[in-house]
Amino acid sequence: MADTSRDLVLRRIRAALRQPAPAAAPRPDFAAPLHPRPGPNEDLAVAFAQSFVRVGGEFYYCESSTISTTSSFFISSRKS
């Protein structure tokens, strides 16, 4: 007789329960700062751009609002 879907699910649950549970995640240190403080000579805008790029963002620097408008139009048409 073929196993029902209920039997298959229960078999998988039993098999999973036989294996030891993974180790618990370490407890976070809530007192530690979330973001490192930039140095006294470091520009906050540059630190932001570097962090943004490091996590996978695309950062485009524009010197003026005219260049910004033109660039944003080009970028949006390129992604579409």
Q: How far is CA 42 from the centre of its chain?
A: 25
Per residue in 9-44, pLDDT (tens digit) is: 999 999 999 998 888 888 988 888 877 777 888 888
Owner of token pair 């579409």:
80
Q: Domain ranges for the chain, please list them.
A: 45-80
Question: What's the alpha-carbon Rg for the chain, to the nearest Å?
Answer: 26
Residues 1-10, mean pLDDT to the nearest whole number: 87
Whole-prediction pTM: 0.40
Write the CA distances from 25 to 22, 42, 78, integer angstroms.
9, 34, 42
Position 80 pLDDT exceeds 60: no
